Structure 1
Amino acid sequence: MLTDALCIRYYQRLTDALVESWQRGNRFTELQLYMDGYIASLRHSNALEPYLIHRLEEEVFRFLRDSSNFELAFPQTEVEADYY
């Protein structure tokens, strides 16, 4: 679980970008490459401590493996029940 505020912001940005990229038609391999590049840029810029980057990488990879994060949400119509 992420507890650092800056790390949580990076997580939100990265996962939002992954979902948006999925909706544009990119597939798992492209998403994984994007994630790897994002994590590499964080390591290169020293934006976070290395252990936080490692935690972030684990959490984002867990997010990426969960297919329910990439399903389109279709609103369900409410069906009126006939009560007698």
Structure 2
Amino acid sequence: MLQDTETIRHYQKLTDALVEMWHRGYRYDSLRLYLDGYLAALRHTNAIEAYRIHRLEEEATRYIYDRSNFEIPQTQPQSDYY
């Protein structure tokens, strides 16, 4: 579990971008490449500590491979009850 606010913000930005990419038609391989690039940029800029980047990678990888994160919620049809 991520605990510091800066890493959580990165996680939220990253997962929002992954969902958006999924809805635009990108699939797991492309999402993984995006994640790898994002993490490489964090490492290169020393934006957050290395151990936090590692935790972020673990959590984001888990997020990518959990299919329920990319499902579109099904709406139930309204009935004509009055």
TM-score by length of 2: 0.93
Flag as ranges the 4+ runs of structure 1 deviating above 3 A: 78-81
CA distance in 2, matches of 1:69, 1:80: 32
Q: Which has the larger radius of gyration?
A: 1
User: How many residue pairs end up in the alignment?
Assistant: 81
1:14 maps to 2:14: yes
1:57-76 deviations in Å (ceiling 9; x for gaps):
00000000100000111221
Gapped regions of structure 2 (runs ≥ 5): none
**1:24-63 counterparts in 2 under 5 A?**
24-63=24-63
CA distance in 1, matches of 2:6, 2:51: 13
The corresponding residue for 1:3 is 3
Gapped regions of structure 1 (runs ≥ 5): none
The corresponding residue for 1:69 is 69
Structure 1 residue 80: Cα displacement: 5.5
Residue type of the alignment partner of 2:25: G
